[in-house]
Amino acid sequence: MSAPYLKQLQWGIMERLRVVGGARLAGTVRVSGAKNSALKLMAATLLAPGKSTITNLPEIADVEYMAELLTRLGCSVEVNHQSSQVVIDVPQKLGHRADYDMVRKMRASINVLGPLIARELIAEVALPGGDAIGSRGLDFHINGLTEMGAQVTSEHGFVIAKASNGLTGAHITLEFPSVGATENIMTAATLANGKTVIDNAAREPDVVDLGEFLIAMGAKISGLGSHTIIIEGVKKLTPTNHATLADRIVSGTWAFAAAMTKGDITIENGRADHLELPLDKLVEAGAVVTTTKNGFRVKMDKRPTAVDVATLPYPGFPTDLQPMVITLNSIADGTSIVTENVFEGRFMFVNELLRLGAKIQVDGHHAAITGINQLSAAPVAATDIRAGAGLVLAALVSDGVTIIEDAFHIDRGYPDFPTQLQSLGADVTRI
């Protein structure tokens, strides 16, 4: 990521995107490492003093934010976007305080909580910020660490966790399969005394990727990808090298882009097995999906058929692809219902789609959508990463020119999105 761009982020100079509607996207794109995996891997390096290397790193703003946060905790961090990797040298003694000015920029900052309490037996982490997609409390994180013997309080905007006598393994049942809580409990448990069992654990590929990274560091973990994860605590972990999992949400975004624009996109490095339900929905909508040697291909020759969707934790339909399926349904043939079961704030995105002429009615956590032939260009604003990407796709199926404000959200999750869109035939520029 270029220095001028990072300065824009630091100074608050936010770019807009200008999108000309009517393009048919065709060609090949390559998907890099997953944002939701890379950031958690970076945080987990805190568990082992010495140099760990993470490759297949996405070139996104949040990687830079996490690098700065780790630097403030005492690490030496070298991000090399030329080779798509980061080398993190973790000291024997870490800082234990993550201040608000960093944590407010991204939700993934909370993932330093587990490693810090495991290593230093104390952690002070500001309540996180990130995307405005609804309440995402830390109760599951806090309850899990408390069951392992930590004393956790909330003071002056910080979560303060202490474990003066160390952490002890426990049997923890999550009320909801929270990804963040599963990850924080799992990382903390790697150095705890005894066995920890997490029931109703998150099953996302990103959680599995983190677990495999921890195993490479010397952790004893079983049950990854299932509802029950078992961690046997060890005395210490050692640094390692690891390649980040391919980003299934970016892959899914390109898949929906092909279907919406009656296009033909081959997604290299994409994992179709991580997107079974979304791809099934695209087939239901009329797309042809085929696997390739290095990924998969999505082709659409007609107007999509409307599809009903309900978001659920993995392996259900991802909440992060909800804006994309709503956008597809807004120009599809027929009516549909999209139900949001994960983040109540996701429907903030609908207000911007309405500005583009979409016919959507929201009632609680349901959105009823009546498809129209084409959306109408208008100024809109991104409210989060996925909403921003969804608005770009909506602009591509609108008449005329759409200006998208607050494009910095998109840059937090999609490496150089405009350039990749241009390579597929879209007229998209930063202004």
Helix axes 322-330, 248-260, angle to 10 degrees: 0
DSSP conformation class of 169: -
CA–CA gap between residue 189 and residue 217 (Å, rounded): 14
Distances (CA, A) of 327 to 243, 342, 363, 383: 32, 18, 17, 15
- For 217-238, what is each residue's pLDDT tens digit? 999 999 999 999 999 999 999 9
Give the per-residue pLDDT at 137: 63
User: Does 131 qualify as catalytic in the annotation?
Assistant: yes
Confidence band of 106 (pLDDT split at 50, 70, 90): confident
Query: Rounded to whole angstroms, how far apart are CA atoms 290 and 148?
Result: 46
pLDDT at position 132 over 70 = no
How far apart, in whole angstroms, are the C-alpha atoms of residue 349 and residue 329? 14
Of 47, 155, 145, nearest in space to 94 by CA: 47
How far is residue 187's CA from residue 40's CA, in Å, rounded to a whole number? 10
Is the confidence at residue 11, as pLDDT, over 50?
Answer: no
For 162-190, the pLDDT digits (tens) are: 999 999 999 999 999 999 999 999 999 99
Residue 110, both tokens: 């909370």
Q: Which two tokens stand for residue 350?
A: 């609908």
CATH 3.65.10.10 domain position(s) in the chain: 3-31+246-430, 35-243
Other CB atoms within a 10 A radius of the CB of residue 361 amount to: 11
What pLDDT is stored for residue 286 in this prediction? 98
pTM for the model stands at: 0.92
Assign 14 a pLDDT band (cuts: 50, 70, 90). Answer: low
pLDDT of residue 107: 73
Residue 343, pLDDT above cutoff 80: no
Residue 232 β-bridge partners: 195, 220
C-alpha 272/C-alpha 207 separation (Å) is: 18
- The rounded percent of the chain whose pLDDT value lies above 70 is 95
CATH 3.65.10.10 fits 3-31+246-430, yes or no: yes
Mean per-residue pLDDT over the chain, rounded: 92
DSSP state of 407: T
pLDDT at 203: 98
The DSSP 8-state label assigned to residue 314 in this structure reads T
Q: Which of 89-93, 154-158, 207-211, 354-358 has the lowest mean pLDDT?
A: 154-158
Query: Of these residues, 131, 209, 247, 406, which one is catalytic?
Result: 131
The size of the chain, in residues, is: 431
What pLDDT does 2 receive? Answer: 42
Of the pLDDT bands very low, low, confident and very high (cuts 50, 70, 90), residue 131 is very low
The yes-or-no verdict on residue 128 having pLDDT over 80 is no
pLDDT of residue 381 exceeding 90, the answer is yes
Angle between helix 113-120 and helix 179-189 axes, rounded to 10 deg? 20
Read off φ and ψ for residue 126, nearest 5 degrees: -60, 145
Q: Domain 35-243 class?
A: alpha beta
Answer whether 315's CB lies under 8 Å from 276's CB: yes
SS3 of residue 93 by DSSP: coil
Please report, for residues 202, 216, 275, 329, the alpha-carbon distance to residue 340 in angstroms, rounded to integers and kept in the order given: 18, 36, 18, 15
* Rg, the chain, Cα only: 21
